[in-house]
Structure 1
Amino acid sequence: MEQLRTIGGDHLALRDQVLAELRRRIVDGDYAQGERLTENRLAEDFGVSRNPVREALRVVETEGFVQILPRRGAVVATLDETTVRDLFAVREQLETLAAGLAAERATPDDIARLRALLEDASAATEAKDFDRVAELNSALHLAVIEISGNRWLASLSSAMYHHVHWVFRVGAAQRAPHSWEEHIRVVDAIAAGDRAAAAKAAREHVEAAAAAALDPETPKD
């Protein structure tokens, strides 16, 4: 098993470093859903004292990645059906709005940026580098939101996409080829400047992703 890197030697704010690394390990499945996370264990994993670990645990608890349970302490949260349904309900509203606005506001440089993300994702999918595919999945969605030019959408989406990444990563091997085909349709509609088509493509993508996430027999996003 590959040894997890420590971050005790980093010179940036330790709490922020621990927070980013703890969140990444949960999202990537290094710490599994339901797994107990003690302060001592995390401090040893990260090569830091317990104080920044304690602070980071408070943040990921607020974000919904960790639960504090009686007599067990901190455990990695579970992506249950209610959590997933709620996530996709919000995604549908935000992403259809963002895609429609992006179709109206995207510049040629914006379209080139989206096309480059699609190309990178195609290469990562072909290479079966699903950690990279998951990163690019979030990057594409966040790029569309940024291109929409609506700062409220950007603000509301920033925390949510850690969870989008988490859900995608769980089933990335099965879902990735389907997801990127749907992304191409979204980007094509944005490039054409067709607000209605972009919103429709985004909605169909989120609906397909939700069905996949809620049905273990269906590919996931």
Structure 2
Amino acid sequence: MPPIGASGTIGSQHLALRDQVLAELRQRIVDGDYPPGERLTEDRLAADFGVSRNPVREALRIVEADGLVTMLPRRGAVVATPDASTIADLFAVRSGLESVAARLAAERATPQDVADLRALLDAARVATEQDDFSRVAELNTALHMRVITISGNRWLTSIAGSLYLHVQWVFRIGAAHRAPHSWHEHIRLVDAIEAGDADEAQAAALAHTDAAAHAALELADEA
């Protein structure tokens, strides 16, 4: 994996080095470049990112606190595998948040908001047809974050940033199975928002999160 940055290394960018490494490490875990169970040594990550071990060590501490990495005896840092308890807790929060956001979005969406959602749906359809599951996962997050923005509720927005890092990670692990179903469920949600039907938007959001939770829990049971 080549180092990141216009001049070949992550250190060529303008953000603090640790923050650059942290952002890239999170992204590679969420995208599945570093899959669950993979060992992440400081030396390996330093070579991947073209940096010294110090910013890598600091970034690993943060992703461990995020729950993306586990420190194991004699193995060190290993990409975490979401277990049933973690997934159930994640979706309990997600279900409540998305159902509220969907209801508010149906009440407040403008024609431009709906056009934005339709554009994300079209992009997700193309990515699904091309089996580009990292892109599908990104678009899945983008669509849900757009609904939350449309809702106009700043409390939902403030909660969503941290939550959707993990939502995207869990979705990406099972994306090959979930992507076509998720796309169709999103169509129902966007149709309800466009129609201004708050009850149907809420019902569509709940059905979607229930289906996603069921699929994620099945995958966890098989792991």
Tell whether 2:42 aligns with 1:39.
Answer: yes
Q: Matched residue of 1:215: which SS?
A: helix
2:12 equivalent in structure 1: 10
Cα RMSD between the aligned structures?
A: 1.5
Gaps of 5+ in 2: none
Tell whether 2:211 aligns with 1:208.
Answer: yes
Per the normalisation by structure 2, the TM-score is 0.91
Q: CA deviation at 1:9?
A: 4.5
2:98 equivalent in structure 1: 95
State which of 174, 177, 180 in structure 1 corresponds to 2:180: 177
2:31–2:169 contact (8 Å) kept in structure 1 = yes
2:189–2:205 contact (8 Å) kept in structure 1 = yes
Gaps of 5+ in 1: none
Distance in 2 separating the partners of 1:216 and 1:161: 19
1:62 equivalent in structure 2: 65
Q: CA deviation at 1:148?
A: 0.6
2:102–2:202 contact (8 Å) kept in structure 1 = yes
Q: Percent identity?
A: 67
Structure 1 pair 33–216 and aligned structure 2 pair: CA distance change class (3 A): closer
2:116 equivalent in structure 1: 113
- Runs of 4+, deviation exceeding 6 Å: none
Q: Matched residue of 1:128: which SS?
A: coil
Q: Deviation string for 1:30-89 (max 9, x for gaps)?
A: 212122222222111110012211221122112111122333322211111111111111
1:19 equivalent in structure 2: 22
2:86 equivalent in structure 1: 83
Q: CA deviation at 1:10?
A: 2.5
Q: CA deviation at 1:146?
A: 0.8
What amino acid is the match of 2:12? D
27-36 vs 108-117, which moves further:
27-36
Q: Matched residue of 2:10: which SS?
A: coil
Distance in 2 separating the partners of 1:182 and 1:188: 10
1:30 equivalent in structure 2: 33
Q: Matched residue of 2:12: which SS?
A: coil
What amino acid is the match of 1:99? A
Q: Deviation string for 1:91-142 (max 9, x for gaps)?
A: 1000000000111111111111001100111111112211111110000001
Aligned length: 215
87-96 vs 12-21, which moves further:
12-21
Q: Deviation string for 1:145-173 (max 9, x for gaps)?
A: 11111111111110111111111111212
196-205 vs 39-48, which moves further:
39-48
What amino acid is the match of 1:11? Q
Q: CA deviation at 1:8?
A: 3.2
1:145 equivalent in structure 2: 148
